[in-house]
Amino acid sequence: MKTAIVFGSTGLIGGHLVNELIQDNYYSKIKIFVRSQTSINNEKVEVINVDFNNLGNHKTEIIGDDCFFCIGTTKQNSTDKNDYQKVELDIPKEIAQIAKANSVKSFIFISSIYANPNSSGNYVKFKGLVEEELKRLNFSKLGILRPSFLMGKRKENRIGEKIGILTFRVLSPLLFGPFKKMRPISSKIVAKAMIKIAKENLLKITFESDEILKL
């Protein structure tokens, strides 16, 4: 029986992920790391309140078999440039480093479509830099998921994202070949794919949005 470690359990993908993990007998324990109180209540779930400014204080708690990371933010929610970089770049790198030092076998990371460490845009640049660090750490199993626009009910209202999803849903039938990865994808499907990658011995490391759907 395995222990899952989850960062980002209150987000769009993370909420589905925890629900799927609770129902999966492969995992006997789920450790979720949160900043504030959560309504999640299940005998398999251990809730750990974490200070993301002092992750070193939680080294003895980031222990388990598979670490699932789906924390993310927007520039609207993190208007300070340093805060934005901390959430999108510094925190995932530090958590991955702690997990590796604690012999966590698998690290499953939600990246972004077109992630690129050399990009001029910070969002895809930071995701690309995290991907590079994860590969350098050489986990026994690594899964990098690059979903397109995520479909699902969010707590906050993202007008721009809603417009983008609607646009690409209309255009989806016309998106073939290399453009298939731009089709919107259900957040629940992404969560299910994260677990499948952790449990199975797949040959791939990086999964574009259309490949996530195939899983």
CATH (domain of 205): 3.40.50.720
Give the rounded distance of the alpha carbon of 181 from its chain centre: 17
Total count of domains within the chain: 1
- What's residue 37's pLDDT? 78
Tell me the torsion sign for CA atoms 213, 92, 41, 77: negative
Q: How far apart are alpha carbons 168 and 183 in whole angstroms?
A: 6
> Tell me, what's the pLDDT at 26?
96
Positions in the chain whose pLDDT score sits under 70: 75-79, 152-182
In angstroms, how far is CA 18 from the centroid of its own chain? 12
DSSP 51: -
Q: Which residues contact 96 (CB under 8 A, 6 or more apart)?
A: 67, 69, 107, 109, 130, 133, 134, 137
- 41 bridge partner residues: none
Output the pTM of the full model. 0.88
pLDDT of 40 reads 84
Return the pLDDT at 169.
57
In this prediction, residue 122 carries a pLDDT of 93
pLDDT at 1: 85
Using CA atoms, how far apart are residues 144 and 212, in angstroms rounded to an integer?
10
At 206 the three-state DSSP class reads strand
All residues at 6 or more sequence positions from 42 whose CB lies less than 8 Å from its CB, including other chains = 22, 30
Q: Which residue range is the domain that position 45 belongs to?
A: 2-214
CA proximity to 114, closest of 144, 84, 93: 144
Give the DSSP H or E segment for 154: none
What pLDDT was estimated at residue 80?
80
